[in-house]
Amino acid sequence: MESEVYSKAKAAHEASLQLANAATTVKNTALSYIANELESQCQTIITANQIDIANAKDKGMSEAMLDRLALTKSRIIDIATGVRQVIDLPDPVGVELEAWTRPNGLRIQKVTVPLGVIAMIYESRPNVTVDAAVLCIKSGNACVLRGGSESIHSNIALTSVIKSGLQKAGLSPDLVQLLENTDRALVKELLTLRQYIDLAIPRGGAGLIQMVIQTATVPCIETGSGICHIYVDKDADLDMAVRIIENAKVSRPSTCNAMETLLVHQNIRQALLDKLVPVMQRDAVELRGDTEARMLYENIIHEAMPTDWETEYNALIMSIRTVSSVEEAIAHIRRYSTHHSETIVTENPKTAEQFLREVDSAAVYVNASTRFTDGFEFGFGAEIGISTQKLHVRGPMGLSALVSYKYIIHGQGQIR
Amino acid sequence: MESEVYSKAKAAHEASLQLANAATTVKNTALSYIANELESQCQTIITANQIDIANAKDKGMSEAMLDRLALTKSRIIDIATGVRQVIDLPDPVGVELEAWTRPNGLRIQKVTVPLGVIAMIYESRPNVTVDAAVLCIKSGNACVLRGGSESIHSNIALTSVIKSGLQKAGLSPDLVQLLENTDRALVKELLTLRQYIDLAIPRGGAGLIQMVIQTATVPCIETGSGICHIYVDKDADLDMAVRIIENAKVSRPSTCNAMETLLVHQNIRQALLDKLVPVMQRDAVELRGDTEARMLYENIIHEAMPTDWETEYNALIMSIRTVSSVEEAIAHIRRYSTHHSETIVTENPKTAEQFLREVDSAAVYVNASTRFTDGFEFGFGAEIGISTQKLHVRGPMGLSALVSYKYIIHGQGQIR
């Protein structure tokens, strides 16, 4: 007998041709129905969510995690609003990227096409179910969704709404599949179904992402882990540096684009720390520093261990290291960064250009917060994750990350 | 102690920063030295190659394989000419793909950058050693090369020439690494070194490619397996169809862009076969067909087994299947194709457009031979393989397949 994973992946693959060739208006009609159904079925969704919440409370889930899991009427309306925003985005499929004619008369066009079937593996937040399905539909891709077990009742209710929207638009409900059995072994099966799955995208903690990368034989995109650095150069505007550091560390420390490590040039170390430390204390940020930093604020800056440089805190903790040059800052970043986002604060354009050129991360900034690495902040109008690998797509992934291309060649009988 | 794989991959990674930031002129100077050294060290290379040839003969290698392995003076000159052609290609690094300014004043540029370190795993032909190294150098990437054991002496000699060229241009010889131990277990180690290897590209038979895909945890690109189809529609110019089929099957049957299966519309089956069969007989092509085709040429067309539809012959064998519509042809291709190249022969533009739209392969043709799927034929001036996957790059891979991009963001103190 076929497993749930196999039969759902196969059904998604078989339905995918219909969506790949669907007109933009058909896809947008489906999205419009989905948005409407989210609102009209609001109470059904909340009822399902309350089962998840009750189960999670029984298991002793933290308040912060419970909050991430909860769906209220206003959150469901926000999700529906997000769906309607995707309707307004341009269709990424069927775009002619290039076209040329060869001396032998062959006309070659490079045209965007959907990837096929996308597997999304994610953790507790149920809104990802809708976000992912909707971006896949708009980009012409079928999808197989595997959310966390703690949100399974919410996810089933949301998927039912999505399938209903697809059907009302004349599209197959098989285009969006949710794995209801959340056993980990089934994820492995999903990640090796090369005949049906064209891409896997994990979204969640480092453990989930590593599991996917180690297990998958289907192509996958590494997302989201962020050990982001801010280097304050000797030629920095120190007040600007403090504002950027505070924003990058404090505004939302649990996100992947929050900073973890401050690299400070030795010439301005004391001047910077004298401005920064009171701000960080006010914000209740724990500071861990090297010997040079601790000499200045012995009781406030704790000792940084070697592991601190390779830790994504996701919390109000910041490590501080002194460097003697931009080269030393770049070398530190090269060794410890997860290639997500790094900032230099400097008024020296030459130093800035060296940093921007030599730091090998998805987003490199001069004089701005790392928190801007985000699909909406970049103006993509959507985000399905942030890629920290270099293949296919890097940095914030909008709709264009979910398409491939093919070459269409018109001939008149040419042979080689 | 570090293994050969680990130490060479690490050395390539450490050297890669130098090449990533090298000016175009420096990279071209290195290529120019490499071309010159290939010619001046011609005799040394041939002597090394003769050891490989002698060993291969002892092992009973076929004449065809011995020919692929052999390096003669004229072949080495051809390789050097190929290197000089790469000098003339535009540098794929540092190209601004897009740039825009956000309402908050952030200036975002999307600029091409090298991938880092590329692992190439390939089989007997030693010229791949030079082709791969040179394309990596031009695109700013370090590389770790793992050729077949049968060409190891040739590969060592060629790598020595490449390293010498790099040094003369002031670049690190560590940028090009050859694994001298060709034990398969070491390939597995190479394919899981995520901290040092940014991309793996296998080039060779289906067995090698499957091994790489099943083993790799580093990102990889599936290349080269080609079960290519030609569909002759009821509205085809049959003389054109015969010319295209002969070219696609016979001109070089061992290549991945050669055709394997002919799909023929039932309305023109007899008329097409009456023209095609004598041509295929003259070319000594073995024909395997379905019942309908065999009824017409019982002793000439042998019975096609179900496995025939999923076999890449790489030889003068062609399978023939009758279909009753373009939809049936598309469904057959969707089931059996390796998503490489497919052709429709038709004079009906509407049928052509349906085929071009619905067939999900890297290259889809109307009225031209599948053999044109090739980096040089597409005008890319180089080719490092043909991708049959959809992520990152599809179809013939030129220099632009070997780069990623990063976002460079200029701010004036923006926070979020």
- What are the pLDDT digits (tens) for B342-356? 999 999 999 999 999
> What is the percentage of chain B residues whose pLDDT exceeds 70?
100
| CB neighbourhood size of A349 (10 A) | 11
- What are the pLDDT digits (tens) for B26-36? 999 999 999 99
Q: What is the pLDDT of residue A206?
A: 83
Element at B229 (helix H, strand E):
strand B228-232
C-alpha pair distances (Å), A144 with each of A24, A122, A137, A354, B366: 22, 11, 12, 43, 34
Q: Which residues of A touch B221 (CB under 8 A)?
A: 391
C-alpha pair distances (Å), A120 with each of A6, A52, A79, A390: 15, 20, 18, 19
Residues 6+ apart with CB under 8 A from A305: A288
Q: What is the pLDDT of residue B224?
A: 77
Which of A 380-399 lie inside 8 A of B, CB atoms? 389-392, 394-395
B129 or A123: whose pLDDT is higher?
Answer: B129
- What are the pLDDT digits (tens) for A250-298? 999 989 999 999 999 999 999 999 999 999 999 999 999 999 999 999 8
Q: What is the pLDDT of residue A64?
A: 82
Whether B372 and chain A come into contact, CB under 8 Å, resolves to yes
Q: How many A×B Cβ pairs under 8 Å?
A: 192
Task: Please check whether residue B198 is in contact with residue B218, taking contact to mean a CB–CB distance below 8 angstroms.
Answer: yes
Option in B240, B394, B410 nearest A404 (CB):
B394
| CB neighbourhood size of A2 (10 A) | 9
Q: Which residues of B touch A361 (CB under 8 A)?
A: 406
Q: Please report, as a single letter, which amino acid is at residue A85.
A: Q
Contact B407 A363 (CB under 8 A): yes
Write out A203-242 in H/E/C secondary structure.
Answer: ECCHHHHHHHHHHCCCCECCECCCCEEEEECCCCCHHHHH
Which of A 318-357 lie inside 8 A of B, CB atoms? 334, 356-357
Q: Which residue of B has its CA nearest to A339?
A: B406
Q: Which residues of B touch A406 (CB under 8 A)?
A: 360-364, 394-395
Q: Which residues of A touch B365 (CB under 8 A)?
A: 409-411
Q: Please state, in angstroms and rounded to a whole number, the distance separating the CA atoms of residues B259 and A234.
A: 63
- What are the pLDDT digits (tens) for A57-90? 999 998 888 998 999 999 999 999 999 999 999 9
Residue B326's pLDDT band, with cuts at 50, 70 and 90, is very high
Which of A 10-49 lie inside 8 A of B, CB atoms? 17, 20-21
Q: What is the pLDDT of residue A124?
A: 72
Structure token pair of residue A255: 């996100």
Dihedral angle over CA of A399, A393, A346, A270, nearest 10: 100
Residue B330's pLDDT band, with cuts at 50, 70 and 90, is very high
Whether B243 and chain A come into contact, CB under 8 Å, resolves to yes
Whether B249 and chain A come into contact, CB under 8 Å, resolves to no
Q: Which residues of A touch B111 (CB under 8 A)?
A: none
Q: What predicted TM-score, i.e. pTM, was given to this entire model? A: 0.93
- What are the pLDDT digits (tens) for A150-166? 999 999 999 999 999 99
Structural Rg of chain B based on CA atoms:
24
Residue A184's pLDDT band, with cuts at 50, 70 and 90, is confident
Query: How does the average pLDDT of chain A come out, rounded?
Result: 96
Q: Please state, in angstroms and rounded to a whole number, the distance separating the CA atoms of residues B131 and B375.
A: 13
Q: Which residue of B has its CA nearest to A257?
A: B416
Q: Among the listed ranges A228-232, A382-386, B28-32, which one has the minimum average pLDDT value?
A: A382-386
Q: Which residues of B touch A116 (CB under 8 A)?
A: 360, 390
| CB neighbourhood size of B167 (10 A) | 13
Q: Which residue of A has its CA nearest to B215?
A: A217
Task: Please check whether residue B52 is in contact with residue B156, taking contact to mean a CB–CB distance below 8 angstroms.
Answer: no
Alpha helices, DSSP H only, in A229-370? 238-250, 269-282, 291-296, 326-336, 349-358
| CB neighbourhood size of B392 (10 A) | 22
How would you class B96 by CB atoms within 10 Å of its CB: exposed for 0-12, middle for 13-18, buried for 19 or more?
A: exposed
Residues 6+ apart with CB under 8 A from A281: A300
Which of B 114-173 lie inside 8 A of A, CB atoms? 115-116
ipTM confidence: 0.95
Q: Please state, in angstroms and rounded to a whole number, the distance separating the CA atoms of residues B179 and A222.
A: 28
What sign for the dihedral angle of Cα A248, A249, A251, A254?
A: positive
Percentage helix, strand, coil for chain A under 3-state DSSP, each rounded to 5: 45, 20, 30
Q: What is the pLDDT of residue B206?
A: 83
From the list B398, B399, B387, B393, the residue with the least C-alpha distance to B222 is: B387
Q: What is the pLDDT of residue B168?
A: 98
From the list B325, B343, B340, B332, the residue with the least C-alpha distance to B240 is: B343
Main-chain dihedrals φ then ψ at residue A252, nearest 5 degrees = -160, 80
Task: Transcribe B91-119 into DSSP letters.
Answer: P-TT-EEEEEE-TTS-EEEEEEEE-SEEE
- What are the pLDDT digits (tens) for A22-59? 999 999 999 999 999 999 999 999 999 999 999 999 99
Which of B 254-313 lie inside 8 A of A, CB atoms? none
Tokens 């390779």, located at residue? A310
The single-letter DSSP state of residue A366 is E
